[in-house]
Amino acid sequence: MASWAYSQLGRWDDAVEEGQKELSIAEEFSDNSMISFAAWIISIAYTSKGDLGRAIEYGELAVQKAPTPGDKAWAQGPLAWAWCQAGEPHRGVEVLATLVPMHRAARFVPGVIHATVWLGEGYWLAGEYDKARQTLEELLEMAERCGMRFVLGSAHRFLGEIALKTNPTQAGEPLAAPHFEQSIAILREIKAENELALACAGYGRLRKQQGNIAEAREYLTKALEIFERLGVRIARATEDGSAGEAGLVTAPLARALAGLDPDRPVAIYACGPTPMMRAVATLAAPHGRPCWVSLEPVMGCGMGGCYSCVVRVRQPDGQARYVRSCLSGPVFDSRKVVWEELVH
């Protein structure tokens, strides 16, 4: 379990190294249960690091090698989490929603808690905000009772993100600030720096949205400092050159894509202004890199009833049809979006 602990501390290379040692020993003894265990532990490390191609590879290995239904249930959770992170949240949620009651029926509390936190995040990524909120609020009580502080910090972060998304004015409930503040306090105390950086980033975006630029800059800078300390490569660009290089963010992205090994699996994720996401998608296409974009049309109800958030997306038959972003998104494969019809 040292590998998992390293992942939660943001020490991803150590997590992978430790997991590989466990996998080698399991393979030496031809113990499929331990091979499966080590593989899904490595999958968690790669998902935490953001190397989703390898995360899915090891998650699939874990499921393949699982010799019993119990081993398979353990292995399916990390694989489903990797799917959620890799732009397939509906696929991941479908699996996780079956694992939670399975672990609960077996009274296996660690399984319940970890599958629930991944399920809550999956619902959030899928745009199913009410389900995400309900799932994560139930998780808070369980994690508090069991003393699982990393899970508490993560759950509060997700609830802050959901509140910020569903109540952008923050004029009333649900409020994002208390969740972000609790998340930051918990994660700072336990030194879970990778999750702390994400919480600081969320809090910084909240303060920017509220017009508190100084505090927004403080927390966003803190998040960047942590990411850089953890070995995440960051390229900064501002149009006026006040931070990083002067110009558009597509310039450093173009250089990074040009310098990549063609055989290295790399995916691109983009959020922000529509013209920027369209430019990123245009850059990704000739390099054959999958690109996922988080579209942000106004969602009147968030439940598919008002049709205010429709976007045109190409279907498997080649035809472009309107879909409701709140149900089918908000994350889409950039190759399927009909960019010409999106309002900037």
What domains are there in the chain, each with its CATH number?
2-238 (1.25.40.10), 248-341 (no CATH)
Q: 227 CB contacts (<8 Å, ≥6 apart)?
A: 197, 234
Yes or no: say if 33 and 21 are a contact pair by the CB < 8 Å rule: no
What's the confidence (pLDDT) of residue 344?
Answer: 57
The residues with which 292 forms a beta bridge, in sequence order, are 269, 333
What's the confidence (pLDDT) of residue 251?
Answer: 92
| Strand 331-333 versus strand 320-324 pairing type | unpaired
Output the CA torsion 265→284→91→55 (10° steps).
20
CB atoms within 10 A of CB 285: 12
The residues with which 313 forms a beta bridge, in sequence order, are 321, 337
3-class SS of residue 98? helix
On the 0-12 / 13-18 / 19+ scale of CB atoms within 10 A, 112 is buried
The residues with which 269 forms a beta bridge, in sequence order, are 292
Tens digit of each residue's pLDDT, the chain (344 residues): 688 888 888 888 899 999 999 999 999 999 999 999 999 999 999 998 888 889 999 999 999 999 999 999 999 999 999 999 887 889 999 999 999 999 999 999 999 999 999 999 999 988 899 999 999 999 999 999 999 999 999 999 999 999 998 888 888 888 999 999 999 999 999 999 999 999 999 999 999 989 999 999 999 999 999 998 988 888 888 888 887 889 999 999 999 999 888 877 788 989 888 999 999 999 999 988 889 898 888 777 777 888 888 999 998 888 899 999 888 888 889 999 999 888 65
Alpha helices by DSSP H, listed for the chain, are 2-9, 12-28, 32-49, 52-65, 69-85, 89-105, 109-125, 129-146, 149-166, 177-190, 193-209, 213-229, 250-258, 274-284, 325-328
Position 267, amino acid: A
What's the confidence (pLDDT) of residue 193?
Answer: 92
